[in-house]
C-alpha cells in the first residue's frame, strides 16, 4: 500500500465504507443491549494542567476515532441512529489563539451528515431531542457537555464495543500496516544514530524526524535505551549526554496512522559478539513464537510456552542451569522476563478487550504467577497483537531469588557479564489468520530494505 499517511489515501478510502458498516453494526447491537435508540460519541476535550492555563496534549476518545480518522478534533460528536447516515457535529471554534480545524475534507466526509458548529451551545440543536433515548460514550469532564444525556458509558454497550474491537476490519488492518511501515523508517534512522554513537536524546530526535511525529503524536513514549538502561522496562529518560562507551541499544518505539498504532522493539549490539549471539538466539525464539500464532490458540499457552523456550535460552547462554519446568516453577524465568508476552494492538497500544471472554464482559484471568499478561483470549481471525519476549538483568528481581531454591540455578557470574548490556526485547505486530499469520512488522522491515 502507498505510504500516504493522510486521510486522502485512496487505498484507505476504498476500505472505509465497509469499515463503517462494521462499526455501525457493533453499535446496533450495543444500542439494542442498552435499550436505546441513539449513540452519541464525544471526541473529548483537552485537559488543563493544574493551576495553569496550558493544556495537556489532546488524546481523542478511541470510540470516536473508531468511527472517523479524526484524532485532533476536540468538542465534537458523532450521533448514530441505526439505519441513518451518522451525523458528525464538527466543532470549529472561532479562536485566534490556536489553529482551528480546517473544513472537513478527506475520504471520510461523504459518509457523514457533517454539521459544522462554531460554539458549544450550538451542539444541542443537532442532538436527538429525546435525550432519554440516547446513550453517550466518552469522557465528560464537565457534565454539561453531555447535554442532558444521563446514560453515560453504560457497561453493557461498552463491553460489547470493546470485545468487538479485538477483531480488526480490513481498513484497520491497512492502517496498522501503514503504522508499522512508518515506525520502521524511524527504527532505521535510530539504528544509524546509534551506530554514530549519538546520545539517547539525539537518537530519539532522529526517530521522530523519520516518522514525522512530534512527541505527543507518538502512540506511546519512546523507549530509547543505551547499555544498562535497556533493563528498565519503561525507560523514557532520554539521556542528553553520551555514555562513556556504547555496548547495546534497545529501542521500543511506534508510530500511528489515523490513531492506529504500531509497537515495535529491536535490540542491537555494538560489536560484542557474545551479546550479538544472545540477541540472535532471542530473535530466533521470537520468530518461533510468532510461527505459533493462529486462530484457536490460547494466548496464555503461548505466554507459558515462551517461558519454557526462554529457559532453554538461559541454559544455553549459561545464565541458568536446570530443566525448563524447574526454571519456570522456581521463578527463574520470571525474574529474567517479568512482563507479558504481548497484548492486543489497535487504537490503543494496549488495546481494550484483552481479558474479555465474551461481549457481556466476563473476563479470563492471567495464569497464576503471571499477573502482567494483558491478553488472555483465544485468538480469532484478524486480531492484531504483539509478540515481545524479553530477557533482562533486573537486579531487584534477581536478588529476590537469593535464599530460595532458585539461587543455585542461576549463574551469577554470567549475570555480571550481561548487566552492562541491560537486556533484550524483540517485538513484532502480528495479525492472526486461520493456520497462518501476517507479521506486519517483519513485512515492513523487509519492504524497506
Ligand atoms: N511499548 C509498550 C509495550 O511494548 O507494551
Ligand atoms: Mn513496545
Ligand atoms: Mn507492546
Strand partners, 264: 253
Which of 45, 36, 28 is CA-nearest to residue 154?
36
Cell of 426: 524483540
Only one residue has cell 506511546, namely 220
Q: How far apart are CA 280 and CA 326, in angstroms?
A: 25
Cell of 400: 529476590
Identify the three-state secondary structure at position 353: coil
**Cα atoms found within 13 Å of the Cα of residue 286, Cβ hemisphere only:** 28
Q: Is 233 in the pocket of ligand 1 (CB under 6 A)?
A: no
Segments of the chain assigned to CATH 3.90.230.10:
170-448
Which of 108, 66, 23, 139 is CA-nearest to residue 348?
66
Q: Is 7 in the pocket of ligand 1 (CB under 6 A)?
A: no
pLDDT of amino acid 103: 85
Q: Is 252 in the pocket of ligand 1 (CB under 6 A)?
A: yes
Q: How far apart are CA 68 and CA 364, in angstroms?
A: 31
Angular region, 230: left φ>0, alpha ψ -120 to 50, beta rest: alpha
Cell of 26: 457493533
Strand partners, 39: 80, 135
> How far apart are the CA of 207 and the centre of ligand 2, in A?
15
Ligand 1 atom nearest the C-alpha of 350 is: 5
Q: In the chain, what are the helix, strand and coil shares in percent, each to the nearest 5?
A: 40, 15, 45
Which residues 6+ apart lie within 8 Å of 116 measured at CB? 90, 92, 103, 104
Q: Is 263 in the pocket of ligand 1 (CB under 6 A)?
A: yes
Pick the ligand that lies closest to the CA of residue 264: 2
Cα 280 → chain centroid: 25
Q: Is 351 in the pocket of ligand 1 (CB under 6 A)?
A: no
**10-164 fold:** Creatine Amidinohydrolase; Chain A, domain 1 (3.40.350)
Q: How far apart are CA 421 and CA 317, in angstroms?
A: 14
pLDDT of amino acid 95: 86
Identify the three-state secondary structure at position 297: coil
Which of 286, 432, 424, 233 is CA-nearest to residue 346?
432
Identify the three-state secondary structure at position 107: coil
Instruction: Provide DSSP, 39-89.
Output: EEEE---PPBPTTSSPBPPP---HHHHHHSS-SS-TT-EEEE-TTSPPEEE
Q: How far apart are CA 408 and CA 227, in angstroms?
A: 27
Kindly report the CATH number that applies to the domain delimited by 170-448: 3.90.230.10
Segments of the chain assigned to CATH 3.40.350.10:
10-164
Q: Whose CA is nearest to atom 3 of ligand 1?
A: 263
Residue 288: DSSP 8-state = H
Q: Whose CA is nearest to atom 4 of ligand 1?
A: 263
Tens of each residue's pLDDT in the chain, 449 residues: 558 999 999 999 999 999 999 999 999 999 999 999 999 999 999 999 999 999 999 999 999 999 999 999 999 999 999 999 999 999 999 888 888 888 889 999 999 999 999 999 999 999 999 999 999 999 999 999 999 999 999 999 999 999 999 999 999 999 999 999 999 999 999 999 999 999 999 999 999 999 999 999 999 999 999 999 999 999 999 999 999 999 999 999 999 999 999 999 999 999 999 999 999 999 999 999 999 999 999 999 999 999 999 999 999 999 999 999 999 999 999 999 999 999 999 999 999 999 999 999 999 999 999 999 999 999 999 999 999 999 999 999 999 999 999 999 999 999 999 999 999 999 999 999 999 999 999 999 999 98
Pairing relation of β-strands 134-137 and 256-257? unpaired
Residues 261, 349 contacting (CB under 8 angstroms) = yes
pLDDT of amino acid 96: 82
Which of 312, 314, 370, 382 is CA-nearest to residue 342?
370
pLDDT of amino acid 101: 87
Q: Is 428 in the pocket of ligand 1 (CB under 6 A)?
A: no
pLDDT of amino acid 2: 59
Residues 163, 358 contacting (CB under 8 angstroms) = yes
Q: How far apart are CA 422 and CA 283, in angstroms?
A: 16
User: Can you say whether the dihedral through the CA atoms of 63, 64, 65, 68 is positive or negative?
Assistant: positive
Q: Is 359 in the pocket of ligand 1 (CB under 6 A)?
A: no
Q: How far apart are CA 150 and CA 136, in angstroms?
A: 8
Q: Is 172 in the pocket of ligand 1 (CB under 6 A)?
A: no
Q: How far apart are CA 144 and CA 142, in angstroms?
A: 5
pLDDT of amino acid 98: 85
In a mutational test of the pocket of ligand 1, which residue from 265, 303, 392, 430 has the highest number of ligand atoms less than 8 Å from its CB? 265
CB atoms within 10 A of CB 32: 13
> How far apart are the CA of 221 and the centre of ligand 3, in A?
12
Amino acid at each position: 500500500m502507498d505510504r500516504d499517511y493522510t486521510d486522502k489515501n485512496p487505498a484507505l478510502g476504498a476500505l472505509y465504507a465497509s469499515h463503517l458498516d462494521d462499526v455501525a453494526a457493533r453499535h446496533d447491537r450495543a444500542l439494542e443491549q442498552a435499550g436505546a435508540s441513539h449513540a452519541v460519541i464525544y471526541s473529548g476535550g483537552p485537559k488543563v494542567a493544574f493551576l495553569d492555563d496550558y493544556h495537556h496534549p489532546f488524546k481523542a476518545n478511541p470510540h470516536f476515532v473508531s468511527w472517523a480518522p479524526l484524532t485532533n478534533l476536540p468538542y465534537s460528536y458523532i450521533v448514530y441512529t441505526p439505519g441513518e447516515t451518522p451525523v458528525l457535529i464538527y466543532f470549529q471554534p472561532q479562536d485566534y489563539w490556536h489553529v482551528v480545524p480546517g473544513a472537513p475534507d478527506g475520504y471520510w466526509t461523504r459518509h457523514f451528515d457533517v454539521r459544522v458548529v462554531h460554539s458549544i451551545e450550538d451542539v444541542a440543536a443537532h442532538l436527538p431531542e429525546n435525550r432519554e433515548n440516547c446513550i453517550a460514550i466518552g469522557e465528560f469532564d464537565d457534565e454539561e457537555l453531555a447535554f442532558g444525556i444521563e446514560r453515560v458509558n453504560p457497561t453493557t454497550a461498552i463491553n460489547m464495543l470493546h470485545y468487538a474491537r479485538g477483531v480488526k476490519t480490513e481498513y484497520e488492518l491497512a492502517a496498522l500496516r501503514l503504522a508499522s511501515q512508518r515506525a520502521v523508517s524511524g527504527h532505521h534512522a535510530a539504528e544509524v544514530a546509534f551506530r554514530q554513537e549519538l546520545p539517547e536524546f539525539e537518537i530519539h530526535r532522529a526517530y521522530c524526524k523519520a516518522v514525522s511525529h512530534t512527541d505527543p503524536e507518538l502512540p506511546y513514549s519512546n523507549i530509547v535505551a543505551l547499555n544498562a538502561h535497556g533493563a528498565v522496562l519503561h525507560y523514557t529518560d532520554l539521556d542528553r549526554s553520551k555514555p562513556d562507551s556504547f555496548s547495546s541499544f534497545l529501542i521500543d518505539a511506534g508510530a500511528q496512522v489515523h490513531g492506529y498504532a504500531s509497537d515495535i522493539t529491536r535490540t542491537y549490539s555494538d560489536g560484542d559478539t557474545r551479546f550479538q549471539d544472545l540477541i540472535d538466539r532471542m530473535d530466533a525464539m521470537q520468530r518461533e513464537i510468532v510461527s505459533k500464532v493462529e486462530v484457536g490458540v490460547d494466548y496464555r499457552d503461548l505466554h507459558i510456552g515462551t517461558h519454557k523456550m526462554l529457559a532453554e535460552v538461559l541454559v544455553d547462554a549459561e545464565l541458568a542451569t536446570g530443566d525448563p519446568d524447574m526454571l519456570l516453577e522456581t521463578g527463574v524465568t520470571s525474574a529474567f522476563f517479568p512482563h507479558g508476552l504481548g497484548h492486543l494492538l489497535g487504537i490503543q497500544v494496549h488495546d481494550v478487550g484483552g481479558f474479555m471472554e465474551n461481549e457481556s464482559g466476563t473476563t479470563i484471568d492471567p495464569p497464576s504467577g503471571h499477573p502482567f499478561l494483558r491478553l488472555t483470549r483465544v485468538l480469532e481471525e484478524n486480531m492484531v497483537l504483539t509478540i515481545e519476549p524479553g530477557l533482562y538483568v533486573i537486579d531487584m528481581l534477581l536478588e529476590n531469588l537469593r535464599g530460595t531454591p532458585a539461587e543455585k540455578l542461576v549463574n551469577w557470574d554470567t549475570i555480571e557479564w550481561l548487566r552492562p548490556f541491560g537486556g533484550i526485547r524483540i517485538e513484532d505486530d502480528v495479525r492472526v489468520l486461520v493456520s497462518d499469520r501476517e507479521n506486519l512488522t517483519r513485512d515492513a522491515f523487509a519492504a524497506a530494505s
